[in-house]
Amino acid sequence: MVRRTISVKFYARKGRSTAAGLAPVCMRIYMGDQKFETNTKIYVKPEEWKNEKVKGTNEEAKRVNRCIEGFKMKAFDLQRELMNEGKEVTLDNIKAKWFGISLERPRMLMEIFAQHNHQMKELINKEFSPLTFERYETSFRHTQSFLRWKLKIDDIDIKLLNYEFIADYEFWLKSERRCDHNTTVKYTKINLRIQQNNTVASFGLYKYFFPSWDPTG
């Protein structure tokens, strides 16, 4: 991976001065011929702005200049974080970190479900019976229908699954699909089993809905 570095510049946008005559200070992060710009929410008197800082030694000038230096340090800290995490240093990644956006690709329930069922299909008559596979396929279709009914979506980040999701799924199975109690339990267990190796929080769901059930069994 080629190591890339950034440069950080600040400027006062005099053309966007407030009614009080104060100009907003913007920060630009450069990488090659690309740039990322953001408003620092700092305002200065245009006549006091020089060389990317406020002139003078009074307390207000010192405060503003400390804030500006803080913005610069944050930009380089984010660059260092990306390097330490082994992630590519790009303006898009720095921008995502700046605004607190996760760089991790979300793990989606139906995607995981489909992958699980594909692997299960390869093991029919080896580790699983055709009937067991068909139950998981039916559960897949039920889960997808539930997502469309409840949330109007085709998939969901597995980290967003919680007690309410499973409780609503149980209700949907009984009310919309007209499943009896035992069938509802069967499909709910399958849904939870899909989650068990993909989110730590799922263990709490097992114990809540099925106190005596061993999800590894």
The domain segmentation of the chain, as residue ranges, is 7-98, 109-209
- State which amino acid sits at residue 36: F
Question: How do residues 41-69 score in pLDDT, each as one tens digit?
Answer: 999 999 999 999 999 999 999 999 999 99
Question: How do residues 109-157 score in pLDDT, each as one tens digit?
Answer: 899 899 999 999 999 999 999 999 999 999 999 999 999 999 999 998 8
CA–CA dist 22, 47 (Å, integer): 10
- Read off the tokens for 200: 């730590």
Q: Model's pTM, two decimal places?
A: 0.52
Question: How do residues 11-45 score in pLDDT, each as one tens digit?
Answer: 999 889 999 999 999 999 999 889 999 999 999 99
Q: Around Cβ 118, how many Cβ atoms within 10 Å?
A: 9
Query: What distance lies between CA 140 and its chain's CA centroid?
Result: 24
Give me the residues paired with residue 44 across strands: 23
- 127, 174 in Cβ contact below 8 A? no
**Predicted local distance difference test score (pLDDT) of residue 160:** 81
**Predicted local distance difference test score (pLDDT) of residue 103:** 63
- For residue 201, name the pLDDT band (cuts at 50, 70, 90): very low
- 180, 214 in Cβ contact below 8 A? no
- 177, 141 in Cβ contact below 8 A? no
